[in-house]
Structure 1
Amino acid sequence: MDNKTNFEYLLSDLTALNGVGIKTTNLLKKKNINNIFDLLWKLPKAYTDRSLSTKVKDLKIGENQTVTVVANKYLFPRIRKLPNRVKCSDETGELDCVFFNSYEGYIKKILPLGKEITVSGKIGYFKNKYQITNPKYVSEDSSLIKQVHNKYSLTEGISEKIYNKIIKQIINKLPVLKEWHSSKILNKFNNIGWNDAIKELHKHENIGKYKDHFYQRLAYDEIFATFLVNSEIRKKIKKIKKKNKIINLNKQKQLINKLDFSLTNDQIKSINEINNDLSSSTKMFRLLQGDVGSGKTIVSLLAAFNTINSGFQVAVMAPTEILARQHYKLAQKLFPSNISTELISGKSNYKEKKLILNELINNKINIIFGTHAIFQKTVKFKKLGLIIIDEQHKFGVNQRKKLSDKGGNDCDVLLMTATPIPRTLTMTIYGDMDLSIIREKPKNRKMIKTYSKLESKIDDVIKFIKKEINSGNQIFWVCPLIEESKKLDHTSAIQKFEYLKKLFPKQVSILHGKTDINEKDEILKKFLNKEFKILVSTTIIEVGIDFPNANVIIIENANKFGLSQLHQLRGRVGRGEKEATCILMFKSNLSENAKKRINILKETNDGFVISEEDMKIRGFGDILGFKQSGVKNFKLADPIQNSDLFELAEKEIKRIELENENLSKFKPLIKLYDRADIINDIA
């Protein structure tokens, strides 16, 4: 087989395998196994050694054992519910093979009388006799049974026997692919080829050997393939030539001087990086990553201001209408009156929308704010020069690429996120983009004091709340569930709302995922205008919104949240000049990990430190506390255990880019690792 044919075999449908029909294929697809290549990453968890044959007299009850016997007599009872039995023996004793739900014809076929048959299964004992109930393996050819059989995490309906048969078939037919790595890289993994590494991965003696060269090589392949795709996207975007923007630094300075605070060093560094991109002849595709409350919005608005002064329009997209409105009001406050700002809202009537769309196409609006509706086909710009997307975590690699294409050649793209993540994850998730990071908090921003409190001490919390309300402060009260659940012992938002409104009449409102969007915006607006004091909410208040007067947040069942999500929630307070407080409430029976999480939050307000610790505690899967789309779901690689491989892959990508190496040899690697949609241009 040539390399291309080898390739096609690995990407073949499961029905290409012997003994795999539609039923088995559908069962495997439920486990997200769609082709032969996917099956390679279902690794054995344990194994059963059936290689040693035992005499009947030496059998051990309760253990999986293999024995060679002669079938002597069938006992097929007429009562259907009773099992079928086959009396067997060797020269040392007797053994019954017992079958439930098996037909007589099938039993006679696998256990013909007078023939020597090898049987393997769990040994039982009934009425002074050894027995094997529903033996796992029965064959005249003992070599098929006297082996080590791997155990896998199986889909219901697929037996261990069938699964082992499938895997062995693939391993036996496994193609030898032409090596894609350099000799220098291969040397780091004992020069093991991809084919040999896969074979080692499935050997029972290698279960759990994550540090061995075969495992490391395959983990590196995953990481490297991801980085290579990201590199290709970066190159494609950099190839796009655009009209460079002329940055007026004097006007920028005048705007900065109008601010009632000083920019941090990180903010200044980020705006300089963005300005360099805007004024270059290649397209900007940059992520502005900052901790909660680090001042990303002002940096993005400065970028918008510079773009407008260069004669271009700007579109700013936020995940919610209230956040879009917040940015819109800040821009109105900051920008001089000659800059036309507009907000496109779900509440705008048809006449208003039509007027806005008309003014956009005629370049009468300089900057427009809104939700995802900004990018509908009906919204057209005369001269769009910059797209800014706030809280962009809903966008994966392919969506970001489409977004960049949509803006046109002269349109730069700036994405923002307030979710600090560890560097290994940043390299993986955002490797297709240039990165600006704001770690520093504004100098006037006070540290949020974080306390933990037992649920039984709620009276102390209520006393504290009364004192805060009397001082003119507002409170967020966060609960994990909307309604009371019988399965989960959490306090619900609705129950807490009922409890608090008795204690604080006409001062409490509630917000949750089932709240109508218009009602939600109205509730948040009233809270912002201090029309009530306590907002009981689920985690939907997590992202972005500024409530300068909210200085206390209480989080129920804090042990049920991830560290990063707790940090995001805590960031809803302390946005004004007053000192803020976060109270983490929990039940008495805390796990060790929950105690660790709470202690880390009490010790630091640094989101980057917190995200590193979160990943160490929870693993890299759902580090953000919610489903992070765009996160590469590695089969073997782990950003904590394999940080050295991430660094190695990063260095190798930089070398390839610097030397402008031909990528054709990497085509099999990229295609196998499921990124075929982006490799079309690789020769």
Structure 2
Amino acid sequence: MRPSLLDPLFASPSSLPGIGPKNAQLLDRLLGGAEHPARVLDVLMHLPYDGVDRRNRPTIAQAPIGAVSTIKVRVAEHRPPRAKGPYRVLTEDGTGDLTLIFFRANSGWVEKALPVGATRWVSGLVEIFDYYKQMVHPDRILDEEGLKTLPPVEPVYGLTEGLFPRVMAKAAAGALARLPVLPEWLDENFVRANGWASFGEALARVHEPQAPDDLKPESNFFARLAYDELLSHQLALRLVRRKMQVLSGRPQPGDGALRAKILAALPFALTGDQTQALAEISADQGSDKRMLRLLQGDVGSGKTVVALLAMAQAIEAGRQAALMAPTEILARQHFDTIKPLAEAAGLTVALATGRDKATERRATLAALASGALNIVVGTHALVQDDFVYHDLGLAVIDEQHRFGVQQRLALGEKGVGVDVLAMTATPIPRTLALAYFGDMDFSALREKPPGRQPITTRTVNAERIDEVVAGLGRALKDGARVYWVCPLVAESEESDLAAAEARAEDLRKFFGDKVGLVHGQMKGRDKDAAMEAFAAGETKILVATTVIEVGVNVPEATIMVIEHAERFGLAQLHQLRGRVGRGDKKSSCILLYAGPVGETAKARLEILRQTEDGFRIAEEDLRLRGEGEILGLRQSGAPGFKIARLDIHADLLRFARDDAEKFLADDPDLRGERGQKLRLLLYLFERDTALKLLRAG
């Protein structure tokens, strides 16, 4: 049960003073979600991202141009508008004049706010027009009493249409008043050493900043709150992991016979990284604890083969294995890679997607339930209720950041003590891996399989597109195959699609029916047909949207053209480039950009030219863009952080990880005095799923 101390924070924002039904609805639109409507807690955790400094109190003569000033003036004269001009109010002090400008103003309101002869404080941006100082629409017009309530720094919040800044500020002030006095859950020496305030004081100082620096993510106040969030996350990850391991696994040592047959059927030797990863995975499978491991592999590093060998070990132990991928294209591709190797070892494999005919599906389900089927590869269909496994031993989840934690665990719950191997082709910087997947062990594949050629990467101005097309013509005569990727023009699939269709049409003028097209709005069957025509060489140029970003494998493709490369993130560009260079022929990637290019985009393109190391690229991407974009969290709905910024608070993450580990070693069920306080922290940052597991276990 949630401690009653926190109940006021879980009430609706409509319970806050001055927040009526309409504004409560707007706050809900801004801060609510599918799981629950907005609550007072959400208002508290919605921190300002900037602030307006109202501390500068100069005379008119001293007021700096282009900056916000709060100035004491006497109202000298009103000049109502002529025709469609603005309403002007002339004000003065002993040092000069300041004209206040109001467009489309209510003259009655202006006269009431600024009576002639009265003294007022006006706060806003001071500008020069026709050699005179002016302030257009002052942010604040106050008398002496009102001045006492003016915050030194006014917080600026993210808003939604119809929600005014003052309403948000009022809601935040009301939410702060509801915050109970909370006990200190951090080690007091640690708090003192960092010069931190308490959680409540830090929250109040960010919502009511005294100086602009209070609002910087690097400030002590932000750092305190970020640490609390990171600690809650690390505690929750560890509690979930321990629960999974307590539901102990079943040792699956295997005798190596099937693995030996698969290795014999491979046309190449494993890389050192693959061998190392397999040793780590095999040791996990052989132990009596459930495996929960993340296999990171750069594009084309051979993750599928590692996964197949791990599946073979589970099958040697008399169990079954399943591989779940986020898209049909990816599932089909894994199936195509796995099937011949598995069959060489005498294993049965089936593909299960949402498009299966009823008879195929029934046959797959029957074979799974009877144990006749060793391996099933598919999309999230694999976690549906009618998929009953005879004895699932290993669940492999590909591109696992595209699935939420629930889906990730759901496949693992399709059997008793199922080992879980998650895979990603997005190299994740260690900081992010610890933050998001700290409940997992890690293995990384950095080496490319033997025979892979390096990819030459060039940046070309889009004005030279005719030269690029002419170059493609020459390459096609030599048997090349080409991907041409069109970007998302705006936040809509339609414009993405229109760009790809227009480019395909344009290229067909030169290359006729050698040009194919694939995009996200095509039916699965048509998409597969377009991919298959390209893989078979029936089409030589495949124009695509980013639907081909992950997992498409056509070793004959040696040229990748990325149009408007400046619009893509680094990790995405790296993923796309990884679609070529998969065979033994020399490959190239052409980044077409439309100038002038901003500094960040320029840095991205330059890094891509310099290196093919996905892990270095991921570190740079984190520095340039922030964690959500790299992991695809913006799209996937996986839980990001509200306060912590991993590009800034990485050091705090390491401390939080150690703190959580040490603490749970001493008090694994959070029963002690500090454990009870930490339970409050888990509720505040909504990591209470971990507490439910404690109760269940």
Fold-level similarity (TM above 0.5): yes
2:348 is matched with which residue: 312, 315, 340? 340
Report the CA distance shift for 1:441/1:102 in structure 2 as closer, same or farther (over 3 A): same
Answer whether contact 2:455 2:589 (CA < 8 A) is retained.
yes
Q: Deviations over 1:184-242 (max 9, x none)?
A: 43233225311222233232313444433322221111211111111111111011123
Identity of aligned residues (%): 36
1:357 is matched with which residue: 341, 346, 365? 365
CA–CA distance in structure 2, aligned partners of residues 140 and 64 of structure 1: 16
Instruction: Please tell me the residue identity of whatever aligns with 2:229.
Output: E
Which secondary structure does the structure 2 equivalent of 1:176 belong to?
coil
Instruction: Please tell me the residue identity of whatever aligns with 2:41.
Output: F
CA–CA distance in structure 1, aligned partners of residues 340 and 127 of structure 2: 81
1:203 is matched with which residue: 198, 205, 209? 209
1:412 equivalenced with 2:419 (yes/no)? yes
Of 230-239 and 463-472, the range deviating more from structure 2: 463-472
Alignment of 1:561-640 (within 5 A): 561-624=568-631, 627-629=634-636, 631-640=638-647
CA–CA distance in structure 1, aligned partners of residues 416 and 578 of structure 2: 37
Partner of residue 526, structure 2: 519
Which secondary structure does the structure 2 equivalent of 1:551 belong to?
strand
CA–CA distance in structure 2, aligned partners of residues 555 and 120 of structure 1: 52
Which secondary structure does the structure 2 equivalent of 1:504 belong to?
helix
CA–CA distance in structure 1, aligned partners of residues 133 and 533 of structure 2: 79
Answer whether contact 1:88 1:97 (CA < 8 A) is retained.
yes
Report the CA distance shift for 1:83/1:682 in structure 2 as closer, same or farther (over 3 A): farther
Of 387-396 and 300-309, the range deviating more from structure 2: 387-396
Answer whether contact 1:121 1:132 (CA < 8 A) is retained.
no
CA–CA distance in structure 2, aligned partners of residues 166 and 622 of structure 1: 30
Report the CA distance shift for 1:359/1:592 in structure 2 as closer, same or farther (over 3 A): same
Q: Deviations over 1:278-318 (max 9, x none)?
A: 22222222221111001000000001111112111122222
Q: Deviations over 1:34-77 (max 9, x none)?
A: 233333442262335379597x9999999754558799x99999
User: Normalised by the size of structure 1, how large is the TM-score?
Assistant: 0.87
Instruction: Please tell me the residue identity of whatever aligns with 1:604.
Output: T
Alignment of 1:136-147 (within 5 A): 136-138=140-142, 141-142=145-146, 144-145=148-149
Instruction: Please tell me the residue identity of whatever aligns with 1:35.
Output: R
Alignment of 1:53-92 (within 5 A): 65=70, 67=72
What's the CA shift for 1:671? 1.0
Which secondary structure does the structure 2 equivalent of 1:315 belong to?
strand
1:557 equivalenced with 2:570 (yes/no)? no
Instruction: Please tell me the residue identity of whatever aligns with 1:375.
Output: V
What's the CA shift for 1:554? 1.0
Which secondary structure does the structure 2 equivalent of 1:506 belong to?
helix
Answer whether contact 1:553 1:581 (CA < 8 A) is retained.
yes
1:227 is matched with which residue: 231, 234, 237? 234
More helix by share: 2
Report the CA distance shift for 1:325/1:198 in structure 2 as closer, same or farther (over 3 A): closer
Which secondary structure does the structure 2 equivalent of 1:415 belong to?
strand
1:49 equivalenced with 2:58 (yes/no)? no
Which secondary structure does the structure 2 equivalent of 1:238 belong to?
helix
What's the CA shift for 1:466? 2.8
Partner of residue 35, structure 2: none
Answer whether contact 2:152 2:209 (CA < 8 A) is retained.
no
Partner of residue 249, structure 1: 256
Answer whether contact 1:484 1:490 (CA < 8 A) is retained.
no
Partner of residue 283, structure 1: 290
Partner of residue 392, structure 1: 400
Gap regions ≥5 residues in structure 2: 33-37
Partner of residue 273, structure 2: 266
1:664 equivalenced with 2:672 (yes/no)? no
Instruction: Please tell me the residue identity of whatever aligns with 1:242.
Output: G
1:32 equivalenced with 2:31 (yes/no)? yes
Answer whether contact 1:480 1:490 (CA < 8 A) is retained.
no
Report the CA distance shift for 1:374/1:6 in structure 2 as closer, same or farther (over 3 A): closer
Answer whether contact 2:484 2:542 (CA < 8 A) is retained.
yes
Partner of residue 189, structure 1: 194
CA–CA distance in structure 2, aligned partners of residues 20 and 493 of structure 1: 47
CA–CA distance in structure 1, aligned partners of residues 621 and 295 of structure 2: 21
Report the CA distance shift for 1:135/1:332 in structure 2 as closer, same or farther (over 3 A): closer
Which secondary structure does the structure 2 equivalent of 1:203 belong to?
coil
Gap regions ≥5 residues in structure 1: none
Which secondary structure does the structure 1 equivalent of 2:400 belong to?
coil
Partner of residue 457, structure 1: 464
Answer whether contact 1:68 1:117 (CA < 8 A) is retained.
yes
2:379 is matched with which residue: 368, 371, 377? 371
Answer whether contact 1:493 1:536 (CA < 8 A) is retained.
yes
What's the CA shift for 1:594? 2.1
Which secondary structure does the structure 1 equivalent of 2:512 belong to?
coil
What's the CA shift for 1:612? 0.7
Q: Deviations over 1:387-435 (max 9, x none)?
A: 2222223112333233433x23232222211111211111122122222
What's the CA shift for 1:617? 1.8
1:445 is matched with which residue: 441, 452, 460? 452
Report the CA distance shift for 1:364/1:175 in structure 2 as closer, same or farther (over 3 A): same
CA–CA distance in structure 2, aligned partners of residues 60 and 347 of structure 1: 67
Alignment of 1:287-298 (within 5 A): 287-298=294-305
Partner of residue 22, structure 1: 21
Give the count of matched residue pairs: 674
The Cα RMSD (Å) is 4.0
1:533 is matched with which residue: 533, 540, 559? 540
Partner of residue 679, structure 1: 691
Partner of residue 480, structure 1: 487
Report the CA distance shift for 1:188/1:629 in structure 2 as closer, same or farther (over 3 A): farther
Report the CA distance shift for 1:80/1:519 in structure 2 as closer, same or farther (over 3 A): same
CA–CA distance in structure 1, aligned partners of residues 576 and 686 of structure 2: 35
Partner of residue 318, structure 2: 311
Answer whether contact 1:393 1:628 (CA < 8 A) is retained.
no
Report the CA distance shift for 1:660/1:264 in structure 2 as closer, same or farther (over 3 A): farther
Report the CA distance shift for 1:579/1:195 in structure 2 as closer, same or farther (over 3 A): same
Which secondary structure does the structure 2 equivalent of 1:509 belong to?
strand
Which secondary structure does the structure 1 equivalent of 2:428 belong to?
coil
Answer whether contact 1:284 1:414 (CA < 8 A) is retained.
yes
CA–CA distance in structure 1, aligned partners of residues 498 and 278 of structure 2: 44
